Amino acid sequence: MLRGATQADDRQADQQTQSGSGGGFLARALPFGIAFAVGFLLGRRSDGGALSKLKSLASSEGEAGESNEAGDETAADSATEQPSSMGSVTGEEEREAETETEAEPIEEIDDEVAAVTSPTKRGMPMFGLGTYKMDDDACVESVRTAIEMGYRHIDTAEGYDNEDAVGDAIAESDVDREDLFVATKISPENLDYDHVLMNAEESLDRLGLDYVDMLYVHWPTGEYEATDTLDAFAELRREGAIRKIGVSNFTVELLEEAVEVAEEPIFANQVEMHPLLQQTELQQFCAQDEVDVELVAYSPIARGDVDDVDELREIAEKHDATPAQVGLAWLREKGVTAIPKASSRDHLRENWLSLAVELDDEDVERIDAIEDEERIVDPASAPWNA
């Protein structure tokens, strides 16, 4: 039986967002910002706890710690969003090469963009920016532009090699830290207790932040062991270095185990989700009261493939929108948070304006009924392939 960890602190400042189909979720949502008020009364984490102890462990481990973090193998794995433990690559490189484009600086925020805000759910903005395959100056520019447009949720990972750039963009922005939701992830090879603590600290240093809003287990592979790994995440949460615990790429079975053993609540599971991969089983499981885990959709526009789905094209025409916007609006109707990656200004804007697209019941039912399936991120060693 599931333990059902308490999440009252997450709930107190938030709206409830169990969205039904076509229910105009956006209209019911609170503007982003209000939900953070309570959580941020907490101070910066103490320096005397496990993090400090692990800092000395890190320096005594020296090169071992460094090579564990940034070896070639890790870089190669993260370049394909795959668990580091696997050797096989699934032919995604071509697709991913296409994602490297440069952002142009935004000149001005137009009225349409300014009129839109992201709803929040239990303290998490339901719309965010993915940053996989963004690096250096282009990353700084895209994140800065996104924040200027109104994006408040930024998703990165130690494996993306861009936490510095994300941190620079945050530092350059005019938005207060407490109004941003920053999430990062620990790579599979660093998921033993000690390295979780050390690597979280290193991520904070690179980001230039005192805390992250959510820290994810990137993949339940490599050194992941439910109790050991999640105990370290719980310790980080108690110390104030992270606000929420996330997992990623967890199946129902792995999530059930995690919820059961975790000393602190599991807030979210980040998985691939879009109209061509609807994750119905996970949605149903996460919605149970004793589970109560948010879904965060990665690759939410299937890296552009939603453009080719007839149903989405037709619904888009009806709403004077684009298929990508319709796919993102459908996720919102499901109560799922979406983190599309976009580096070009046009894509950033188009995706942001999906927040203004209101689907009706018929649209949602039509998308629910799509039978074609496509999984973009599908490494051989992923848990669903085991």
Ligand X SMILES: NC(=O)c1ccc[n+]([C@@H]2O[C@H](COP(=O)([O-])OP(=O)(O)OC[C@H]3O[C@@H](n4cnc5c(N)ncnc54)[C@H](OP(=O)(O)O)[C@@H]3O)[C@@H](O)[C@H]2O)c1
Which of 26, 29, 301, 331 touches ligand X by CB under 6 A? Answer: 301
Which of 309, 324, 329, 331 touches ligand X by CB under 6 A? Answer: 324
Which of 302, 309, 312, 353 touches ligand X by CB under 6 A? Answer: 302
Q: How far is the CB of 235 from ligand X (least distance, A)?
A: 22
Strands annotated E in the chain: 120-121, 124-125, 129-130, 153-155, 181-186, 212-217, 242-248, 266-272, 294-298, 337-338
224 among known catalytic residues:
no
Question: What is the rounded CA–CA span in Å between residue 67 and residue 18?
Answer: 44
Active site residue: 132, 151, 160, 224, which one?
160
Structure tokens at 22: 């076509």
Which of 204, 217, 321, 342 touches ligand X by CB under 6 A? Answer: 342
Burial class (CB in 10 A: 0-12, 13-18, 19+), 261: middle
Q: By CB under 6 A, is residue 213 in contact with ligand X?
A: no
Supply angle C-alpha 322, 327, 330, rounded to 5: 125
Which of 132, 250, 285, 352 touches ligand X by CB under 6 A? Answer: 132
Question: What is the rounded CA–CA span in Å between residue 96 and residue 86?
Answer: 18
Q: How far is the CB of 50 from ligand X (least distance, A)?
A: 25
Site residues (CB under 6 A) for ligand X, limited to 96-115: 98-99, 101
Structure tokens at 199: 């690597």
Q: By CB under 6 A, is residue 341 in contact with ligand X?
A: yes
Q: By CB under 6 A, is residue 303 in contact with ligand X?
A: yes
Structure tokens at 298: 């990665």
Q: How far is the CB of 328 from ligand X (least distance, A)?
A: 8
CA 16 to chain CA centroid, Å, is 19
At how many degrees (to 10) do helices 193-207 and 163-172 cross?
40
Q: How far is the CB of 306 from ligand X (least distance, A)?
A: 8
Helix extents (H) in 47-162: 50-61, 63-70, 72-79, 93-97, 111-114, 136-149
Q: By CB under 6 A, is residue 187 in contact with ligand X?
A: no
What is the x/- site pattern for ligand X, positions 21-60, by CB under 6 A? Answer: ----------------------------------------
Is the separation of the CB atoms in 379 and 82 below 8 Å? yes
Q: By CB under 6 A, is residue 343 in contact with ligand X?
A: yes
What is the x/- site pattern for ligand X, positions 240-279, by CB under 6 A? Answer: --------xx--------------------x---------
Q: By CB under 6 A, is residue 81 in contact with ligand X?
A: yes
Q: By CB under 6 A, is residue 351 in contact with ligand X?
A: yes
Q: How far is the CB of 332 from ligand X (least distance, A)?
A: 15
Question: What is the rounded CA–CA span in Å between residue 386 and residue 381?
Answer: 7
Which of 33, 49, 208, 304 touches ligand X by CB under 6 A? Answer: 304
Question: What is the rounded CA–CA span in Å between residue 372 and residue 126?
Answer: 26
Q: What is the DSSP letter of 44?
A: P
- Closer of 58 and 184 to ligand X (Cβ): 184
Torsion of the alpha carbons at 55, 59, 64 and 65, rounded to the nearest 10? 30
Contacts with ligand X, residue ranges (CB under 6 A): 81, 98-99, 101, 130-132, 155, 218, 248-249, 270, 298-304, 324, 339-344, 347, 350-351, 377
Residues annotated as catalytic (active site), given as ranges: 160
